[in-house]
A and B are shown apart, each in its own frame.
Chain A
Amino acid sequence: MTGNLHTLPSASGHTRLRNLRAEAPSASGARFWSFGGTVLKILGLAVFAFLLFGPLANLVLWSVAERWYTPFKLPVSYGTRYWEVVFRPTGDAMSSLMTSVSIACLTVLVALAVSVPAGYALARLKLPWRTALMILFLLPQAFPSVAIYINVARVFYSLGLTGTITGVVLVHAAHGLVYSVWIAAAAFAAVDRDLELAARNIGASPLRTFFTITLPLAMPGIMASAIFVFLESLDEFTGTFFVGVPQVTTLPLLLYNASMGGNYQIASITALILLVPSVLFMIVIERFLKADVLSKVGQ
């Protein structure tokens, strides 16, 4: 895949580009220059597209390559054998996918259990150490993660949490809390105070007001934070590696093991599977994160 910068991921794009390059030198004079400009633009676009889609195309190629070795620029033989291996119900990939998704879901639950009350408190109450608290949730992201996770693993070991789903979920939740708390605080802050007061005024208790007015109105922001936490958990590697191995194998760990073991087909397919939720969520998240919420993040 390297060496030829003009290669496009699709075969048709590849040939079209080659035709253009073949025509360009045959033209002459002004026509040559205007044509040259067009070619340059197309080349620029091609480079851009390659940088974006090249690695992805490589993944796709690897996932369907049954045999591919050094002198050849393209796989020697194609097939879906490895897809079958991955999607075999008894295979490692499916079980680690299940592990990954359940860990991600549990992480979301844990993070929400903290971020909904914490976000509401940060948005509504006049807390004396508000900024310090906000920064506290940022801490797990602020230090070198390996150093932190080695220590976390040591503490968890003494608590009997290493190698358990609970341990991994806790690590992921701590990691995701910065998103969920900050976004939830912004989502609650974006709910107009008068809307709550209007409910209290005509007889709703504080709890009832929270569940019928505040929470539904903050829900889009909270959904966005849940999505971020879910994706973070799905992709998380370092913490899982130090706390979960060897009993808990998530998709990123499987990917790591497969690529370390030279099994690029399995690694590529795993990577593609990991890509699906990210792409899906990125499409929907734009609907949840409104400008009025975004403008309040971190305030």
Chain B
Amino acid sequence: MGPVNAPVAAAIDIDHLQVSYGSQQVLHGVSLTVQPGEFIAILGSSGCGKTTLLRTIAGFQKASGGAIRLFGRDVVAMPPEKRGMAMMFQSYALWPHMTVLGNVGYGLRLRGVGKDEIRARVAGVLKMLNLSGLEDRKVTNLSGGQRQRVALGRALAIEPDILLLDEPLSNLDAKVRIQLRSEIKALQNRLGFTAIHVTHDREEAMTMADRIVVMDAGRIAQMGTPKEVFDRPNSPFVASFMGAENTIHLDVRSNSAGVEVQAGPGPSIRWDGEVPVGPVTAYFRDDVASLDAPDARRDGSIVLPGTITQRTYPGGHYRYVVAIGDRHFTVTDDDYHELDRPVGLRLPLASLHLFPSESKGENHA
């Protein structure tokens, strides 16, 4: 997105933010800078502190240390109503005793906007969200997708500089979710607000965000564009969180031209990539593996001999389970193969994420 060292103040500048619930520390010094107009996704499994981070930015949760600056203004001690942002909740958090107009117009009413103007501006917001004509409907009579659109409208009606999204799509059907995903993204492009989106859905984060922040146990594990985080995870945790959940152990020895990589008893492969030397664990996604002859030798790839133990046809291609020793890997192939046939599982070294074996990534083996 925008230039990293822009002269204007960052929309959100979080500096060593710490949060504790009682004696239990939830955020261990999180630092994050978000440029105006940027869409950030905070990705992590439940309990990693991502929702706490968002709620602390919103002011619902007190920080025990660190600073939060919005456009250069420190808000860490400010109550939520003074921070000037808007939030979408997982539970929609629409007020059931009000109509759509009452919900969407609430922020405008607080700001002393006249009745007629509220009606006009709410109509504008609803039109933008394809909800025209629903002003006087009770929010309890709306579908899930419509409710979350109303919640989005309520947040956007006050024209916030910053929009916080707390897993707003996770209660919706898959179809509505994908539709709303692109609607929110399109609105963000059009209106130019800064957004922080908390989610545990990798695909959602990848498709919506300019930058992804992966969190683990109250710390930021990695930040970067979706492509950077996906292609170059910096730790076994991020690698497996981004879908590279298969592991194999390899031996890497340096030689004159580069390195030699050896898998188990098989032949070693010469390679010139940047890899750690010594015993390493390779993390890879199912889709980087392919089938080959069991004794094939390919440049830049390792081939592991094994046998096919299972075959399914999910449509378009066959999916095989290949047993290598006592390990099983899933691989797809266009051709039909018999069960129990010896095959080679070919893994291009460039697509593997290699980390020294001593790391805690062993958990994922």
A284 to chain B: closest CB distance in Å? 18
B62 to chain A: closest CB distance in Å? 13
Interface residues of B (CB under 8 A from A): 58-60, 79-81, 84-87, 89, 91, 93-97, 106-107, 110-111, 151, 154-155, 158, 160
Chain B minimum-CB-distance residue to A219: B97
Q: A194-B89, A208-B110 are in contact. Are A201 and B80 (CB under 8 A)?
A: yes
Q: How far is the CA of A208 from the CA of B91 in the complex (A)?
A: 22
Task: Pick from A198, A200, A202, A212: contact of B79, CB below 8 A.
Answer: A200
- By DSSP majority rule, is chain A's interface helix, strand, loop, or mixed? helix
Q: Is there a chain B Cβ closer than 8 Å to A70's Cβ?
A: no
Do A204 and B81 have beta carbons less than 8 Å apart? yes
Q: Is there a chain B Cβ closer than 8 Å to A20's Cβ?
A: no
CB neighbours of A198 from chain B (8 A): 87, 89, 93-95, 151, 154
Chain A minimum-CB-distance residue to B90: A194
Do B96 and A199 have beta carbons less than 8 Å apart? no
Flag A175-218 by CB within 8 Å of B: 1 or 0 each.
00000000000000000101101111111111010001100110
CB neighbours of B58 from chain A (8 A): 197, 201
Task: Pick from A203, A205, A208, A213: contact of B95, CB below 8 A.
Answer: A213
Q: How far is the CA of A195 from the CA of B154 in the complex (A)?
A: 13
Q: How far is the CA of A245 from the CA of B154 in the complex (A)?
A: 58
CB neighbours of B80 from chain A (8 A): 197, 200-201
CB neighbours of B107 from chain A (8 A): 202-203
Q: How far is the CA of A95 from the CA of B85 in the complex (A)?
A: 59
Q: A194-B89, A197-B60, A197-B80 are in contact. Are A202 and B95 (CB under 8 A)?
A: no
CB neighbours of B151 from chain A (8 A): 198
Do B154 and A202 have beta carbons less than 8 Å apart? yes
Q: How far is the CA of A200 from the CA of B96 in the complex (A)?
A: 16
Q: A201-B85, A202-B154 are in contact. Are A194 and B91 (CB under 8 A)?
A: yes
Do B97 and A216 have beta carbons less than 8 Å apart? yes
Q: A192-B91, A194-B89, A197-B60 are in contact. Are A203 and B97 (CB under 8 A)?
A: no
CB neighbours of B97 from chain A (8 A): 216-217
CB neighbours of A192 from chain B (8 A): 91, 93
Do A203 and B89 have beta carbons less than 8 Å apart? no
Q: A195-B95, A197-B80, A213-B95 are in contact. Are A202 and B110 (CB under 8 A)?
A: yes
